[in-house]
Amino acid sequence: MPKLPSPFLVLLHTHFTLLLISIPFQVNSQIPNTEELTILLNIKQELGNPPSLSSWNATSSPCDWPEITCKENSVTEISLQNKSITQKIPPTICNLKNLTSLDLSLNNIPGEFPDILSCTRLEILDLSQNLFVGLLPNDIDRLSALQYINFGANNFSGDIPPSIGRLSELQKLYLYENEFDGTFPKEIGNLSNLEVLGLALNEKMKPASIPLEFGKLKKLQTLWIEEANLMGEIPDSLISLTSLEILSLAKNNLTGPIPSGLFSLKNLTNFYLFNNKLYGELPNSFEGRNLVELDLSANNLTGLTPSLTDFRVSKNKLSGVLPPEIGLHSKLQAFDVSSNQFSGQLPKHLCAAGVLKRVVAFSNNLSGELPKSLANCSTLHTLKLHDNKFSGEIPSGI
């Protein structure tokens, strides 16, 4: 099964856990609900009686099974995550009338989208990292109570249905790493409660611009559309995403300048635009004081930006002198300005916070002596400064 990049896997798991916590539940009765017991035992049989569900038996209450959560003696949540399931999910699962959460992630479930549109009380639906194929249902908005969707790391294809934009309760939407070959529907912009939008790693999407309507997602905290065949300019409408904390549009074919207002988003902490075709001048300062990771490498940008925790602007056309204060106002850990046209000296305060690990500045026009402060930087493990015009002696501590 496909693997999700680890930083986003942690993020995704955190969001799912928090959403589960927000839904009240109670495990409370030893008296079996006989109707639901029969339904679940039949489901187990249709799944091929997997050994992972050995606790499902006729002599105990489903509310005592580890995969089941109940409220008032009725099944409300089923978690079959990583249970080695290889059979299709039977539609009889929707006979559990109070089911609000269904997690089928990390299995090998085959076939098309499961026949579960009758599970109309579902608030959480996780089908991620399975073997699903085919189209998403055009009437997916029948699941109108959904707050969390994760269909990532499957083989779903065709268009993402515009009807997904009618799921007005939706807070988290993950459709990453599939075989979709249409374009991202503008109707996603109607999801006024959406906090996370993960559309990354969909390389077969038709070349298309970012829908202007995405700028209407006022509650959006994470926008992840890395490696999804995006083209054209980054729309100015994204400046309206004032709740945004993570923005990744890396590994696409985006062109034009970066909207300057993105550098003023006050909640933004992680900003990734590397490996695009962006050009233009970067601002000398910005209001985004919470920004800790910035990667704009492999573009055609000019100008400079202030110091951060993780500063990467390699493989651009940046020139001029590096600001001498870099490292003084943040806990700088990684500094990569390689393959540009910088001149002047290497800043002296890169390790001022005592946590610097990487200095990569090769292939520039830097000159003068190496900062003696690097000799006392005990955390430093990578130093690449070749192809410059440095002079003098290498500090002995290095």
Give the least confident one: 173-182, 233-242, 330-339, 378-387.
330-339
Q: What is the pLDDT of residue 1?
A: 44
**How far is the CA of 133 from the CAs of 80, 191, 278, in angstroms?**
19, 25, 35
Instruction: Give the model confidence (pLDDT) of 352-387 as tens digits.
Output: 999 999 999 999 999 999 999 999 999 999 999 999
Label residue 325 by pLDDT band (50, 70, 90). confident
Residue 160 and residue 184: Cα distance in Å, rounded? 7
Instruction: Give the model confidence (pLDDT) of 385-398 as tens digits.
Output: 999 999 999 998 88
**How do beta strands 310-312 and 300-303 pair?**
unpaired
Instruction: Give the model confidence (pLDDT) of 112-127 as tens digits.
Output: 999 999 999 999 999 9
The CA radius of gyration of the chain, in Å to the nearest whole number, is 25
Asked if pLDDT for residue 314 goes beyond 80, the answer is: yes
Q: What is the pLDDT of residue 328?
A: 83
Asked if pLDDT for residue 26 goes beyond 80, the answer is: no
Asked if pLDDT for residue 3 goes beyond 70, the answer is: no
Q: What is the pLDDT of residue 330?
A: 80
**Coil, helix or strand at residue 38:** helix
**How far is the CA of 250 from the CAs of 92, 110, 298, 357, in angstroms?**
42, 31, 10, 24
Q: What is the pLDDT of residue 190?
A: 98
- Looking at every residue in the chain, the average pLDDT score rounds to 91
Label residue 13 by pLDDT band (50, 70, 90). low
The pTM of the full predicted model, rounded to 2 decimals, is 0.82
Q: What is the pLDDT of residue 28?
A: 41
208 contacts 230 by C-beta, under 8 angstroms? yes
